[in-house]
Chains A and B, each alone.
Chain A
Amino acid sequence: MSPKTLYDKIWDAHVAHEADDGTCLLYIDRHLVHEVTSPQAFEGLRMAGRTVRAPEKTIAVPDHNVPTTMGREDVTQMTEDSRIQVAALDTNAKEFGIHYYPMNDVRQGIVHIVGPEQGWTLPGMTVVCGDSHTATHGAFGALAHGIGTSEVEHVLATQTLIQKKSKNMKVEITGKLKPGVTAKDITLAVIGETGTAGGTGYVIEYCGEAIRDLSMEGRMTVCNMAIEGGARAGLIAPDQTTFDYCMGRPHAPKAGAWEQAVAYWKTLFTDEGAHFDKVITLKGEDIQPVVTWGTSPEDVLPITGVVPAPEDFEGGKVEAARRSLDYMGLTPGQKLDEIEIDTVFIGSCTNGRIEDLRAVAKVVKGKKIKDGMRAMIVPGSGLVRAQAEEEGLAEIFEAAGFEWRLAGCSMCLAMNPDQLSENERCASTSNRNFEGRQGFKGRTHLVSPAMAAAAALTGKLTDVREMI
């Protein structure tokens, strides 16, 4: 048998039907659902008189719209249209009998944090959600990607997706990371290298010593942003770190089934000699803490750098860079660590887990954020929030001057009231610096949690290595 990549193995294990032209029906093990991209799909089922084929494999949670301020059980905190969307999810979950974590359940949170936390996401699975950051679940060696609402409806009705296989790309990060460099810096550095379209048509497998050394949470951060590089999915082969994370989670297999599962999971790796269509290698020790300067996640530079000029680029990127600099209010040659910010957002499916909050606490403990700074910490789930409170992190944050919020997507996409105003400039641990993403005319610099913490203290983009 010819050697296979990890992606080949998961793909082959999920093809329910293959047509002569190579179009496949891929069976879906877990379907995650949130309130923004699902109402039209449920409505479609209703109109066609269809049911959810596998409600036991379908998990819903409201996250995009929900307020993150205290007292949100009072639904008048939401705008009417948000309230209608969340209420529609309540109704659809009940009517179609799918698993559901309502807004006021302590297990509620961002769908990509809840799935792994509850043990829904496991190695070797196929996982989809009407959300591009479904790539996150690839950290478990699960084939996970975002889909549109028509596909949400297709999966609800048939538990399959119509797919053609992608190509294989290997992204290897060799060696060790230097202090102050995190999973977020790895994933941004890779996008800086490949560009936002570099992964189009591929599934990426991340490997190498620096990836192996990451915790599950770090691996989730890396895979989360595979989509920003254009890839359909990102994958990391499961290992003991993965098994240890999964064990004992509410929906992970128990007792005998656990042994059987682990035995299977141990077969999920890329065979020696398997073919990759594209290979990218970065040295872990070369990666520095990075920030974005523009309005595309590929606009990445080390914090020690300067704002580039449009002429530094080629082709269509020249005009795009000019537009970005104008939007961001930056001048070529300006030092990145002299850019002043007024807002800090810590949270999102990229960086809203407990280790991210610990990294922030380590930097800000016993210190105060800059006067006039608006700094917000939004845990990724109710359980992350509870854990941070138990560990005393919440006290550190509040003493430093951060707002300590309830769980949700919040200012990552600013669909709820957590938004930037015009020309406000934010150091953000989220995943997209697009125009208007965090609020109309808001300006976003993507950074790691430690870098965001450092920026909150100094009031400008800051090299966190000077603080540790």
Chain B
Amino acid sequence: MEKFIKLHGIAAPMPLVNIDTDMIIPKIFLKSIQRSGFGKNLFDEMRFNRDGSEIADFVLNKPQYRKAEILIAGDNFGCGSSREHAPWAIADFGIRCIVSTSFADIFFNNSFKNGILPIVLPQEQVDLLMKDAEKGENARMTVDLEAQEITTSDGEVIAFEVDAFKKHCLLNGLDDIGLTMEKAEAIDAFEAQAEAARPWA
């Protein structure tokens, strides 16, 4: 997994609430057996007309946001299907950080597994970042995971919380299967005890 340490980039505003994973990557693109190449279909039905031409007023089609690396989003981002194709598409497009007042649980976990940092902040702070993002490409934010701080283009600093283990994995780009396998003895012991207690399971 790609490390996430510090990001300085353009933030795109997407104030719509309840952006679901069907919007992020429609199901017709889920038929690949690869993990890569989904970025070109990110937000497909919002971003493109049926003939493949761009919908001009969609935020990521606007010249100032085409290279956005941060999304400032409305409440309950990533709700719906468990498809990891959603964070795959987001990362493949080049977005590495999403800020919202809340994220759907499965999407939130999936993001960390793909080098994406989802940040939950109170409404007032999301509103402030949304305003900053609306300034366009000259308004670049800095997201510092080590310090757990976002710095707006005006130099305002906002602190954020992140789970310590997830932070450790992101900072170091760790594969958590490898980490879990180091605890194989604990799993073996649990399995033996569970088989005795609940042999039918």
Contacts and interface: CB of A to CB of B under 8 A. Distances in A.
Given A29-B201, A82-B31, A147 B177 contact: no
Contact of B33 (A88, A258, A413, A435): A88
A147 B33 contact: no
Interface of A: 13-17, 19, 21, 23, 25, 27, 29, 36-37, 39-40, 43, 48, 50, 64-65, 79, 81-82, 84-85, 88, 122, 124-125, 130-132, 145-151, 153-154, 157-160, 162, 164, 196-197, 200-201, 230-232, 252-253, 257-258, 260-261, 264, 296, 298, 315-317, 319-320, 323, 413-415, 432, 434-437, 440
B22 A147 contact: no
A434 B74 contact: no
A432 B181 contact: no
Contact of B113 (A65, A130, A148): A148
Contacts of B34: 40
Interface of B: 15-18, 20, 22-23, 26-28, 30-35, 45, 50, 74-76, 79-84, 87, 102-106, 109-110, 113-114, 163-165, 176-177, 180-181, 183-184, 186-187, 189-191, 194, 197-201
A437 B83 CA distance: 13
Given A40-B35, A79-B31, A84-B31, 20 more contacts: A15-B190, A16-B191, A23-B165, A36-B31, A122-B200, A130-B84, A131-B81, A146-B82, A147-B106, A147-B109, A151-B110, A200-B103, A232-B105, A316-B15, A316-B75, A320-B17, A320-B18, A323-B16, A436-B26, A437-B22
A155 B82 CA distance: 15
Nearest to A57: B201
B198 A264 contact: yes
A164 B18 contact: no
Contact of A434 (B23, B32, B180): B23
A159 B190 CA distance: 11
Given A17-B186, A148-B84, A319-B16, A200 B33 contact: no
A122 B102 contact: no
B142 to A, nearest CB: 26
B23 A435 contact: yes
Contacts of B110: 148-151
B18 A196 contact: yes
Instruction: Determine which residue in B28, B81, B103 has the highest number of CB atoms from chain A within 10 A of its CB, and name it.
Output: B81
9 closest A-B pairs (Cβ-Cβ)? A253-B200, A16-B190, A148-B110, A81-B31, A39-B33, A150-B113, A148-B84, A316-B17, A197-B76
A414 B75 CA distance: 26
Nearest to A42: B33
A147 B176 CA distance: 15
